[in-house]
Amino acid sequence: MGDSSSESDQFLKEFHIPSYILVGDSEVETSSHFPACPVIVFINSKSGGQLGGDLLVTYRSLLNEHQVFDLGEEGPDKVLRKLYARIEKLKLSGDGFAAVIEKKLRLIVAGGDGTAGWLLGVVCDLKLPQPPPIATVPLGTGNNLPFSFGWGKKNPGTDSQSVKSFLDQVMKAKEMKIDSWHILMRMRAPKEGTCDPIAPLELPHSLHAVHRVSPTDSLNMEGYHTFRGGFWNYFSMGMDAQISYAFHSERKLHPEKFKNQLINQSTYAKLGCTQGWFCASLFHPASHNIAQLAKVKIMKRQGHWEDLHIPHSIRSIVCLNLPSFSGGLNPWGTPDKKKKRDRDLTPPYVDDGLLEVVGFRDAWHGLALLAPKGHGTRLAQAHRIRFEFHKGVIDHTYMRIDGEPWKQPLPLDDDTILVEISHLGQVKMLATHDCRSKSVHDPSTPTSYHGEEEDGNDEDSGEELEEQRKFGAADTFRIPDEVDITHLV
């Protein structure tokens, strides 16, 4: 028993950061052991029901409690600013230990996709000389970010052994760069009312980071409300965002009902039925279809905008950076050699400066993703994409960034409302060695594809997809077992 405890203590030393590095005015400690993988841990204690709180307790019991932070109490920007200021001060005083911590530091974030995106945004904004790579613990409902990099999508165990196992994976993980994306929303200030999101939900954290641009920002225009921020996985608009909004609104109003991941996913699926996502042609007005809602332009090469044709049946559009959407599905799939040649389509790399733009008609169309090699309607790949909303279409729309939805009012004045997405830069993630994300710079990643990869599910296929339900289900497209589909209408 003693040997086992000693081995555990030795293992945890590889992640430990002494208090004097973390807390100002602490007495400097001397140590002959340099940790192989020092970590700072951020946990959203409100994620995953009780799991976030339990995970916080376990990490603090295993590591220095000063290196584990509850995001409900302190934001990551404040934590990292203080930490790097402290490290810099120690380095200037000749502290070699602090320099090692800075070089080897890795971050862990436990929460939903919105929480993970928040931390990625902060690291990106701080422009650190040696930005640390980030590992994500799946504590949300969709968990697309963790799943994309091999960390799974099920809520983890919160006991000591589970946490030690995760820390071991963090130590062995490889670094992978991924694209980050800038999003700008600009709309004329209405004469009456507001352009702020409609309660009970607010803007996502990734837009909160900068909210409205300052008067001195070059993006600011007098007489307009301008929001900007960033994302790492996806921006979506339409019915999928509407269902997500209904779920998150209900959870915010009644948090006590959402303490179990399976219950959350079942509730999500039921909302998909009640909101008409499975019978969109009956419940979703044609005026809400993407082609009626906005004019869409894309930029495939620098400085050249072109109109993007959106089929009139498309009710949701997803601009995707990672190969995981709606709980682990890959809407883009793998274009075969013919698609690559005729339409200039490539596999979905996470660091190629391109967004994959995919459309869905309804949830039945989305069920194609549950089949092997299934995909949505591949619309384009682009370095930039622009949505232009015009007068009198609708008074609001639903949008979603990395799992966080909001209901955005649109001015009714004679004016164009602009949403533009462009490539921003790159951030470093930690990935397990069997992660599904692929780098365009990885020599082991195939650059040419053969016909066997394509499933023949062409863009406007009208095949009946009910049979695909047997392959499983993801949040947006799942039909609960207790729902009789013959009564959905």
DSSP 111-178: E-HHHHHHHHHHHHHHT-SSPPPEEEEE-SSS-HHHHHTTS-SSPPP-SHHHHHHHHHHHHHPEEEEE
Which residue pairs from 389-394 have beta carbons closer than 8 angstroms and sit at least 24 positions apart in sequence?
389/293, 389/294, 389/416, 389/417, 389/418, 389/419, 390/294, 390/295, 390/416, 390/417, 391/415, 393/287, 393/292, 393/293, 393/294, 394/287, 394/288, 394/293
Can you name the residues that pair with 425 across neighbouring β-strands? Answer: 180
Q: Which pair of structure tokens corresponds to residue 482?
A: 């207790």
Distance of CA 68 to the CA centre of its chain: 22
pLDDT of residue 7: 84
Q: How far is CA 172 from CA 106, 114, 168, in A?
A: 12, 25, 6
pLDDT of residue 101: 96
pLDDT of residue 149: 94
AA identity, residue 47: S
Asked if 398 contacts 241 with a C-beta cutoff of 8 angstroms, the reply is yes
What DSSP assignment string belongs to 12-39?
Answer: HHTT---HHHHSTTPPPPP-S---SS-E
The 8-class DSSP code of residue 455 comes to -
> Cis omega (within 30 of 0) on the bond before 331?
no
- The pTM of this model reads 0.76
Distance CA 120, CA 134 (A): 8
pLDDT of residue 206: 62
Asked if 388 contacts 140 with a C-beta cutoff of 8 angstroms, the reply is no
Can you name the residues that pair with 317 across neighbouring β-strands? Answer: 237, 359
Q: How far is CA 195 from CA 10, 198, 356, in A?
A: 55, 9, 29
Using alpha carbons, select from 10, 395, 402, 14 the residue that is nearest to residue 172.
Answer: 14
Determine phi and psi for 323, rounding to 5 degrees.
-85, 40
The 8-class DSSP code of residue 206 comes to H
- End-to-end Cα, the chain, rounded Å: 62
Asked if 421 contacts 183 with a C-beta cutoff of 8 angstroms, the reply is yes
AA identity, residue 405: P
Using alpha carbons, select from 422, 353, 442, 430 the residue that is nearest to residue 131.
Answer: 430
Can you name the residues that pair with 360 across neighbouring β-strands? Answer: 316
Domain 2-172 maps to which CATH number in 1.10.10, 3.30.9, 3.30.70, 3.40.50? 3.40.50
Burial class (CB in 10 A: 0-12, 13-18, 19+), 12: middle
Using alpha carbons, select from 477, 469, 468 the residue that is nearest to residue 270.
Answer: 477
Strand pairing category for 384-389 and 417-431: antiparallel
Number of CB atoms found within 10 A of residue 341's CB: 10
Q: Where in the chain is the domain with CATH 3.40.50?
A: 2-172
Determine phi and psi for 143, rounding to 5 degrees.
55, 45
Q: In the chain, which residues have pLDDT < 70?
A: 1-4, 189-217, 248, 251-288, 327, 339-342, 362-374, 391-393, 410-415, 443-489
Asked if 241 contacts 440 with a C-beta cutoff of 8 angstroms, the reply is no
Greatest Cα pair distance, the chain, in angstroms, is 76
Residue whose entry in the numeric block shows the structure tokens 């931390």:
119
AA identity, residue 404: E
Q: In what helix (H) or strand (E) does residue 270 lie, and over which residues does it extend?
A: helix 261-274
pLDDT of residue 15: 97
> Which residues have a Cβ under 8 Å from the Cβ of 391 and sit 6 or more positions away?
412, 413, 414, 415
Q: Which pair of structure tokens corresponds to residue 280?
A: 């969109």
**Secondary structure class of 295 (helix, strand, coil):** strand
Asked if 17 contacts 67 with a C-beta cutoff of 8 angstroms, the reply is yes
Distance CA 344, CA 441 (A): 19
